Amino acid sequence: MAEPTNVSEQHDYDVVVVGAGGSGLRAAIAAHEAGARTAIVCKSLLGKAHTVMAEGGIAAAMGNVWPEDNWQVHFRDTMRGGKMLNNWRMAQLHAQEAPERVWELEEWGALFDRTDEGKISQRDFGGHRYARLAHVGDRTGLEMIRTLQQRAVDLGIDVFMECTVTRLLLDGQRVAGAFGYWRETGSFLTFRAPAVVLATGGIGKSFQVTSNSWEYTGDGHAMALWAGASLLNMEFVQFHPTGMVWPPSVKGILITESVRGEGGVLRNSEGKRFMFDYIPEFFKAETADNEQEADAWYADHKNNRRPPELLPRDEVARAINSEIKAGRGSPHGGVFLDIASRRSAADIKRRLPSMYHQFKELGDVDITKEPMEVAPTCHYVMGGIEVDADTQAAKVSGLYAAGEVSGGMHGSNRLGGNSLSDLLVFGKRAGESAASYVAGLPSRPAISSRDVQAATDEALAPFSNPGGENPYAVMKDLQEHMQSLVGIIRKGEELELALKEIDRLKERAQHVSVKGSGRSYNPGWHTALDLRAMLTVSECIARAALERKESRGGHTRDDYPQTDPDWGKVNLVLRERRGVIEIAKQPLPVMPDDLKTLFEETH
């Protein structure tokens, strides 16, 4: 029997899924179908998660365009893209199950673009050997969310929207539920549930220039850590090569990789197609080293050596960064991405309609006539909650994680399109595992009124600091420090400075005060609460980045520019003990021999 708590609104479920992006919706559908009483809780309106913003497509080796494609090649590409730091078992399950998950979406009503033979069309993306992204123009995420949302609503799954979860509640060492507040009224509520699936997405808001929207403050990462779970490889943050740079109000907004997949090329201020100067040894064999060869590939996609613009994102982002630093940038501090001279206006409008409208409306640029100015933008976090590959169980009983908030799958660098497929594959697995965990429980955990009181006090603290600092000022300073000290190129002394600054910001965050006495419609208060997670996650990123003394994937150290084979054998694991974040090396799981042989074959 649960203890009564001081919060009057309480809900009982078997499984509570925090997050309504692709992974949360897929997890909730799976948990519900497995017989669990399931709820979805999300910070914004249902349908407004990051997933809806995904443009390019869902990576799955369906072989619709290239019959040679199969899960083994997809697995190999994913591991190579992640510089072999991926959890091999997750990469294997992902490659094996992604096609089935895409066909399932289609059965549930998703309308994909088609090939001439009427199969689901698949497009090229960086690091994928074959064209394998199932897509709907450049609005794939919208179709995916529409389909999953409709299915979840049809099944009658309860949804709590505009409701932020701030703490997980425990009974001893196991999950007992979650605590949160309604954003509109500010009133508190608790969920009693033996299993919680975290599907809260990314952390991009900790950086100044990001493609992420306001919701992505790393809440799930932080809540898992505070509850005793571990985070993996938080140093690996993906800076997508192509974000908008002008006008300032739209800086960071994403320009999909599909632009390069459709033939767009990168040039510097001298008009040079500079990516040929940045082909790393690792990808030399499969990358075209001159324009003629690269363009031949665009013409028939049969040439095995792909254009260097389609190298994995970490490589392209670093190259752009170097060109800008060398003074060969565009007028507003980017480089040029040119599709206008490569495709007809009709093609561009048909294949990239969102990009056409985005630039026309936000930048007054007609991309069918002129190049775009682009620069890297913080986009995705490869690091995340450490989970079991098969079940998505975190290190705390009853806690599961899926999607961007979980770690391991993408190693040190994610390939484009591999997130949407990850959401489907591991969302389903997380939901099923959570339901089966609850079904097997001999007794249900209880939430304690003391913990609920502590969560309430913590949430109300910003109201008891009259005359304190504005939370937005602290957030802005954090974003600036993360951008300049923990950004795309890192140095030991800058990371040490970042950690000192984060300590100072933590102190300042203790004393922020919120304007207005009420909790309803109070965005300053919401920011004050978000800050806690942002600071925790930022510290994890900076600590891990300082610890990893090599450059690999999304983590580039100016003082350790080489990839070090010894560092390729370990993950960095972060845990919180008595308020202190600790970091440890952990050996990578050993890949079985039959999978190892895939890397010996020459394709």
Ligand X SMILES: Cc1cc2nc3c(=O)[nH]c(=O)nc-3n(C[C@H](O)[C@H](O)[C@H](O)COP(=O)(O)OP(=O)(O)OC[C@H]3O[C@@H](n4cnc5c(N)ncnc54)[C@H](O)[C@@H]3O)c2cc1C
Positions that interact with ligand X (CB under 6 A):
18-24, 41-44, 49-51, 53-57, 140-141, 164-165, 199-201, 211-212, 215, 219, 254, 380, 403-405, 416-420, 423
- Greatest CA span in the chain, whole angstroms? 72
Which CB, 418 or 479, lies closer to ligand X?
418
Q: Is 511 a catalytic residue?
A: no
Question: Whose CA is closest to 412, among 563, 307, 197?
Answer: 563
Q: Is 240 a catalytic residue?
A: yes
CB of 344 to ligand X, least distance (A): 23
Integer Cα distance of 511 and 473 in angstroms: 12
Dihedral angle over CA of 21, 27, 28, 33, nearest 10: 150
Supply φ then ψ for residue 78, to 5 degrees.
Answer: -65, -45
Integer Cα distance of 28 and 49 in angstroms: 15
- Which two structure tokens, joined as six digits, stand for 441? 């429980």
**Catalytic pick among 132, 240, 526, 552:** 240
Nearest residue (beta carbon) to ligand X:
21
- Which two structure tokens, joined as six digits, stand for 397? 């009983």
CA 74 from chain center: how many Å?
Answer: 19
CB of 24 to ligand X, least distance (A): 5
CB of 590 to ligand X, least distance (A): 28
**Catalytic pick among 129, 151, 260, 481:** 260
CB of 563 to ligand X, least distance (A): 25
Which CB, 21 or 307, lies closer to ligand X?
21
CB of 9 to ligand X, least distance (A): 15
Question: Whose CA is closest to 448, among 12, 7, 2?
Answer: 2
Which CB, 276 or 400, lies closer to ligand X?
400
Which CB, 132 or 273, lies closer to ligand X?
132
Contacts of 518 (CB under 8 A, 6+ apart): 186
Which CB, 18 or 435, lies closer to ligand X?
18
Exposure pattern of 454-486 as b/e (b: 16+ CB <10 Å)? ebbeebebbbeeeebeebeebbeebbebbbebb
DSSP class per residue in 193-206: -SEEEE-----GGG
CB of 165 to ligand X, least distance (A): 4
Integer Cα distance of 291 and 555 in angstroms: 29
Which CB, 41 or 514, lies closer to ligand X?
41
Integer Cα distance of 237 and 103 in angstroms: 30
CB 488 within 8 A of CB 556: yes
CB of 474 to ligand X, least distance (A): 18
Which CB, 420 or 478, lies closer to ligand X?
420
SS3 37: coil
Any idea what DSSP says for residue 195?
E
Q: Which residues are catalytic?
A: 240, 260
